[in-house]
């Protein structure tokens, strides 16, 4: 189940919730109980930078038995 991050439109508090699609409509701010919340970008566990591209194999240099 994905984690959704929300931001309260009233107090500006940010919070993330682990909810299903059907529960999206009943989101309340945990700080001020406001329903004016905006969904932010989803938080996925894709941390970490990508390493540099792996060295490409040279086709022309490869030894082939012609």
- Give all strands (DSSP E) within the chain, no chain letters: 3-8, 14-18, 37-39
Give the number of other Cβ atoms within 10 Å of residue 12's Cβ.
10
Chosen residue from 11, 23, 24, 43 binding Zn ion by CB under 5 A: 11
Binding marks (x or -) toward Zn ion, 21..60, rule CB under 5 A?
Answer: --------x-xx-x--------------------------
Half-sphere exposure of residue 64: CA atoms within 13 angstroms, side-chain side: 6
Residue placing its CB nearer to Zn ion in the complex, 15 or 57: 15
The binding site for Zn ion (CB under 5 A) comprises 8, 10-11, 13, 29, 31-32, 34
């Amino acid at each position: 189940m994905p984690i959704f991050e929300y931001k309260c439109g009233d107090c500006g508090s940010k919070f993330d919730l682990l909810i299903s699609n059907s529960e999206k409509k009943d989101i309340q701010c945990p700080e001020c109980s406001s329903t004016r919340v905006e969904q932010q970008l989803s938080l996925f566990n894709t941390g970490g930078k990508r390493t540099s591209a792996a060295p490409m194999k040279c086709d022309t240099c490869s030894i082939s038995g012609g």
